[in-house]
Structure 1
Amino acid sequence: MITSAAFLAVMLVGVPIGLCLCLAGIVYIIASGNPLLFQSYPLQMFGGVDSYGLIAIPLFILIGEIMNGGGITKRIVDLAMAVIGSVRGGLAYVNILANMFVASILGSATAQVAIMSQIMVPEMEKQGYDKTFAAGLTAYGGMLGPIIPPSVMFVVYSVLAQVSVSDMLIAGIVPGVLLTVLFFAVIALMGYVYNYPKAEKRTARQRIATILDAAPTLAIPVVIVGSILGGLANATESAAVGAVAAALVGRFWTKQFSFSRLPEMMLRAGVYSAIVLFLVAAAAVFSWILIYGKVPQETAAWIQTVAKDPVSFMLLTNVILLVIGTVIDGVPGLIMTVPILLPIATEVYGIDPRHFGVVVVINLVLGLLSPPVGLCFFVAAAVTGAKPGKMFLVTMPFFGVSCILLILLSLYPFLSLALIK
């Protein structure tokens, strides 16, 4: 109780979540009256980041930096426009499709929203779309980032759950594609109701030229995902090869990337990686304290009085995680919930940890698009000037189909496990 009170107190005054987790551990040790636990404290932190799979995080972030600096994102958008063609609501489809392509390279929701908002929202405004809708749609497109591989959140979950990083990345493919299809269905319906403008007409020659110009940029996700699916590389190795592919495409095809800019890109990737890895180290301490204090066992006893079978447990978990995700960012949300809920899911209800991980990540990402915080909406608002509250209201149908996907995943685990060998 004292530990929980200390954790909430320091979090509410604005202390970063990583420090909150560390301080909560210290308070628990002091309250337990067992100072010998301090000897294990640094060992638990080191053990949390002593994982080969975590090397994939800075590499995935570096891929995003190179992609942005190499003009690859703009070509991906052009490719999506050439593929969609002249249909009603065409730019809305392009927004989601381009986000899907970018998600297969970037893997971060907030970074993706910041990048795509700068590109898509002004273009949609020119074509007659409401700015609030355009910004909100881009924020929901960013939701694909942590689901379609590569994904920093899946890597962190893999370490917390002690499962294969490659398996987790593969598990996100089918749900990511399904979510894209559901978003397309919403756009089709809204386009009919609100009479969205048609996309700019292009001749067959123009489309072919655009596709040929952008096609080499797809080598990056093909290398990353293909090497994992084909069993040629694990997640970390595929991330390294993907970074090389991004640099080569940016340097020799788009010709907008310079190797002289690589040090500053690596520095930015290193700073962001350090933040994520500190959270992971703090999570190791937090998990250790939870297990030592028998929190998972007590939580499991309570949940079993409410959820009688795996499906009811998953539906209850959806509600819990969605509420948590509305106020806490993705990676900290993983850190706080996985050590408690995962043992219950696997040991009590026999749920596959990879399937459970997909549901957890999608819930927490959806929380980034829900009040009162809605971090992705605030990112889109900072870039475009639209109001976050209005964004949530005009994009409610996308929230609805995201919840439908979560229910489907809860009922049918094979949707996330189908591609795993």
Structure 2
Amino acid sequence: MITGAAFTAFLLGGLPIGLVLCLATLSYVVATRNWQLFDSYLIQLFGGIDSYGLLALPLFILVGEFMNAGGITTRLLEMTMAITGRIRGSLAYVNVFANGLISSILGSSTTQIAIMAQTLVPEMVRKGYDKNFAVATTVSAGLLGPIIPPSLIFVIYGVMVQAPIGDMFVAGIIPGLLIIAAFCLVIWLMGFWLAYPIEPHASVRERIGRFMRGLPTMLIPIVILVSIMTGLASPTESAALACVAALFLGLGYREIDLRQLPQMFLRTGLNTAIVLYLVAAANVFTWVLIHGQVPQVVASWMTSVASGPVSFMLWLNLILLVIGTVIDGVAGLILIVPILYPIATGLYGIDPIHFGVVVSINLTLGLVSPPVGAALFVGASLTNTKPSDVFAMSLPFCLATCVVLVVLSIWPWFTLALIR
């Protein structure tokens, strides 16, 4: 009780979530007067990041840096525009498809949304799309970042529960495609009351030229997925290969200056340090939760309301949708997994990979949901729109994602088909 109250007080006080976790852990030690726990405090902090799998984090972040500076985003947009052609509302579909392609390189929704909000939203507005719809489409499609491999949240989950990170990446492919299909259906249905413009005619030769200019950028996701799925490289090694591919592409396009590398490495190090601090703090907080028998209490309640695996997963969706509105995706993952993972796998026999994919998708919905909604506020601030207006326009996309979550919860095949 005291630990929970301390956690809530620190969180509402506006402290960073990593510091909240560490201070809440200390409050438990003080409240129980179990001073021997102090001896293991630093050991538990270090143990949280003492994992080879976490080496993939800075490498995937560095891939994103090379991509941003190398003009890869622009070429991906041109390629998707060449594919969609002159169908009504083609730029909206391009937005979704391009986010899907960029997700397969970046794996970070906030960075992805920041890029797309500044590149595609102005173009959509210039072509006659409603600005709030353009931003809502961009923000919602940014949810693909943590789902389509490579995914930073999958790396963290895999390290936390000792699940194969490569299997997590592969398991995210079909759910990601389902979300893309659901978003395209939403755009098509919204087209009945939103007057989508039609792109000007482009010759076959122009479209082929756009497609060919963007085709080399597909080398990055191909390197990642093929090396993992064939067993030629681990996720960490595939991330290193992707870094090399992204750097050579940027140099080949003559848009990366080698003098920029120190700043890229510095930003990569800072972003990695933030994530690793969260993981370390989560490990020590999990250690205290287990010591206080919190998982056993939650397990007792869950077994009283959930009669089977499907019932448990549906309850899980409801709980996580609420949690995701107030806690960031990675922080929510760090808090929830240690409590619910043993229940899901131990009591209900749910596959760890299936559980991880559903939890990750669920928590990423919080990125576009008030009151926190980090992605929502990033997209709105970069485009000078009201977050409330953007959220209202993004509700159909959120509902579509919820439908996909229900499908995944009832039929695990969609997450496990490619790894079994």
Q: Partners of 1:238 and 1:263 in 2: how far apart? A: 22
1:122 maps to: 122
The alignment status of 1:218 with 2:215, answered yes or no, reads: no
8 Å CA contact 2:328, 2:372 repeated in 1: no
The alignment status of 1:35 with 2:38, answered yes or no, reads: no
Q: SS in structure 2 opposite 1:202?
A: coil
Q: Partners of 2:64 and 2:200 in 1: how far apart? A: 29
The alignment status of 1:382 with 2:381, answered yes or no, reads: yes
The alignment status of 1:279 with 2:291, answered yes or no, reads: no
8 Å CA contact 2:109, 2:142 repeated in 1: yes
Q: TM-score, structure 1 length as denominator?
A: 0.99
Matches within 5 A, 1:245-264: 245-252=245-252, 254-264=253-263
What is the deviation of 1:376?
1.0
2:396 maps to: 397
The alignment status of 1:107 with 2:107, answered yes or no, reads: yes
Q: TM-score, structure 2 length as denominator?
A: 0.99
Q: Partners of 1:12 and 1:135 in 2: how far apart? A: 29
Larger mean Cα displacement after TM superposition, 32-41 or 356-365: 32-41
Q: Partners of 2:9 and 2:267 in 1: how far apart? A: 31
Q: Partners of 1:156 and 1:334 in 2: how far apart? A: 9
Matches within 5 A, 1:184-223: 184-223=184-223
What is the deviation of 1:292?
0.6
What is the deviation of 1:49?
0.2
Matches within 5 A, 1:9-408: 9-252=9-252, 254-408=253-407
What is the deviation of 1:259?
2.0
Q: Partners of 2:285 and 2:151 in 1: how far apart? A: 23
Q: Partners of 1:43 and 1:167 in 2: how far apart? A: 29
Larger mean Cα displacement after TM superposition, 275-284 or 26-35: 26-35
Q: Partners of 1:314 and 1:154 in 2: how far apart? A: 18
AA matched with 2:81: M
What is the deviation of 1:192?
3.2
CA deviations over 1:265-290 (Å, ceiling 9, x no partner)? 01101100100000000010011001
What is the deviation of 1:410?
0.4
For the aligned residues, what is the CA RMSD?
0.8
8 Å CA contact 2:321, 2:363 repeated in 1: yes
AA matched with 1:368: L
CA deviations over 1:361-410 (Å, ceiling 9, x no partner)? 00000111112222211000111011111111122211111000000000
8 Å CA contact 2:171, 2:415 repeated in 1: yes
Q: Partners of 1:323 and 1:310 in 2: how far apart? A: 20
Q: Partners of 1:184 and 1:304 in 2: how far apart? A: 38
Q: SS in structure 1 opposite 2:216?
A: helix
CA deviations over 1:323-352 (Å, ceiling 9, x no partner)? 110011111010110000101000010000
AA matched with 1:306: V
Q: Partners of 2:394 and 2:53 in 1: how far apart? A: 36
Q: SS in structure 2 opposite 1:368?
A: helix
AA matched with 2:182: L
Q: Partners of 1:205 and 1:218 in 2: how far apart? A: 21
AA matched with 2:230: G
Q: Partners of 1:372 and 1:16 in 2: how far apart? A: 16
Q: Partners of 1:194 and 1:46 in 2: how far apart? A: 53
What is the deviation of 1:46?
0.7
Q: SS in structure 1 opposite 2:368?
A: coil
Q: Which runs of 4+ in 1 moved over 6 A?
A: none
AA matched with 2:204: A
Q: Partners of 1:200 and 1:268 in 2: how far apart? A: 40
Q: Partners of 1:73 and 1:54 in 2: how far apart? A: 26
Q: Which runs of 5+ in 2 are unaligned?
A: none
Q: Which runs of 5+ in 1 are unaligned?
A: none
What is the deviation of 1:193?
3.1
Q: Partners of 2:126 and 2:206 in 1: how far apart? A: 21
Q: Partners of 1:204 and 1:112 in 2: how far apart? A: 30
CA deviations over 1:4-23 (Å, ceiling 9, x no partner)? 11111111111100011011
CA deviations over 1:151-195 (Å, ceiling 9, x no partner)? 110101111111111111111111001100111111112123323
Q: SS in structure 1 opposite 2:192?
A: helix
Q: SS in structure 2 opposite 1:305?
A: helix
